[in-house]
Amino acid sequence: MTTRQPPTTTTLWRPTGPEELALVAASGWRAWPPRLPEQPIFYPVLNEDYAIRIARDWNVPAAGAGYVTRFEVDTEFLKRYPVQQAGGRTILELWVPAEELTEFNRHIVGGVQVVHEFR
């Protein structure tokens, strides 16, 4: 008898504001909401420091609060999204097309956790 191994996962981070976070909470902390028409991609980031900078320096002034979330995604699934360098060498993101977000959400292992809050 073969036992199925759980998927190997990759930790991703997502800086977010209060409105998006409320939608994640409404999903039971299991999924990211559909993108708005002006948001063609969903971009989780590959390191906590970069996520903190966005949440603190962009989300707080724009929305009054910023949050950093952490979640795990099946590593094999993530191979379809090449790492994008969006600035310096540690400014790394994955660009998930909006139309693929539902499938992306199905590959989240566990839930989305808030790990930092800024006001």
CATH code of residue 16: 3.20.170
Q: Is residue 37 part of a domain?
A: yes
**Confidence at 3, pLDDT banded by 50, 70, 90:** low
* pLDDT above 90: residue 16: yes
Quote the pLDDT of residue 87.
82
Quote the pLDDT of residue 1.
58
Q: How far apart are CA 100 and CA 104, in angstroms?
A: 6
Quote the pLDDT of residue 90.
84
Give me the number of domains the chain comprises: 1
**Confidence at 30, pLDDT banded by 50, 70, 90:** very high
CB 74 within 8 A of CB 11: no
Q: How far apart are CA 65 and CA 19, in angstroms?
A: 10
Q: Is residue 69 part of a domain?
A: yes
* pLDDT above 70: residue 92: yes
Quote the pLDDT of residue 2.
59
CB 15 within 8 A of CB 93: no
* pLDDT above 90: residue 40: yes
- The whole domain housing 63 covers 9-118
Q: Is residue 1 part of a domain?
A: no
